[in-house]
Structure 1
């Protein structure tokens, strides 16, 4: 074999070694790559994301709510929803409200994100639920069945049973100047803000910092 041929063969060795190295790395890390990517892609599909669908549901929820929302706030909420798809997947929420039909768009939005949401119409109905199921959070209104403090009363029931779960207050009217109970993580009247708070709590829950 001529010297020129040997030189040509030797010149191809680095390329062959790189291909072999890349193949080895791929097959070694293949399981980890799939394990990390598949849930993310599945979560994104679950959100429909169909960010368009999320946007429609958020707009519908906003139309049913009193406070307006800026285009920037809407865009930020949708951006967080898209990036938090994996975090929201499988989250467990108990939503206590005697008029759940008013939350229909948000319920559909969170369920589209892969969250499991149980609905209770009263504190009495909610009690066996949160005693039985370890929820990531409870979303509650304040005024139920003519009692303007029903949501606060539920907090005392949680304390009685020593159930430590964060509570979000989502109500048509909320006056923070009247004071905020220490058991309340946050309170809002705006759908966009509720989306942010739900994501905040799910991120903390996933990190185990609650």
Structure 2
């Protein structure tokens, strides 16, 4: 067999492989636009989710530093996990936070705003009253002591009753003693940021589901 015949046999033998390569290249360039369109939003969402969770963790840690409560690593992870999975529930929620020292709550206010909630801040019952009278809130967070009045938070509950405003109230304060009892109007009371996160998610889930 001559050299030219051997060469042609080798060339013919490589044609199927070349056809497969050409076919694969054609399919890749044909579907590339579709693949990119499908993958980029997912990658972007994952990246954004990572940033949100990272930010939430940082803000929760800052809030913990501001509070007097202790928290375990497990409780921290659980709260962050609920925040991640409750993103759709929290987004668009409306919160009113009443406290005469808002600087201590700044990390948590920022956290709830970061997950898409609208948060109004008032320094007193007098400031809060026109807000909750004209805007429907999903949850009100309040302290107890304001300007030397240890019953300021409780008195605000009576104002809510006076105007027939049925919004759940969570007491968040560094000096709450659960053994003294909880007013019937209070949904929950806590000194711990991670517990507050759970209560807000619970209330937003209830608000989204509506009355039974």
**Is this a same-fold pair by TM over 0.5?**
yes
The CA deviation at 1:176 is 1.4
Say which SS state the counterpart of residue 128 (structure 1) adopts. Answer: helix
Tell me the residue number matched to 1:54.
Answer: 56
Q: 1:138 to 1:61 in 2, by over 3 A?
A: same
| Number of equivalent positions | 169
Structure 1 counterpart of 2:132, from 130, 133, 138: 130
The CA deviation at 1:100 is 0.5
Q: Structure 1 length normalisation: TM-score?
A: 0.77
The CA deviation at 1:133 is 0.3
Tell me the residue number matched to 1:142.
Answer: 144
Alpha-carbon distance in 2 for matches of 1:141, 1:187: 9
Structure 2 counterpart of 1:166, from 158, 162, 168: 168
Gaps of 5+ in 2: 1-40
C-alpha RMSD of matched pairs (Å): 1.8
CA contact (8 A) 1:48 1:54 kept: no
1:157 aligns with 2:165: no
Tell me the residue number matched to 2:196.
Answer: 194
CA contact (8 A) 1:166 1:185 kept: yes
Tell me the residue number matched to 1:108.
Answer: 110
Alpha-carbon distance in 1 for matches of 2:211, 2:109: 26
Gaps of 5+ in 1: 1-37
CA contact (8 A) 1:49 1:82 kept: no
Q: Structure 2 length normalisation: TM-score?
A: 0.76
Alpha-carbon distance in 2 for matches of 1:162, 1:201: 19
Alpha-carbon distance in 1 for matches of 2:194, 2:211: 24
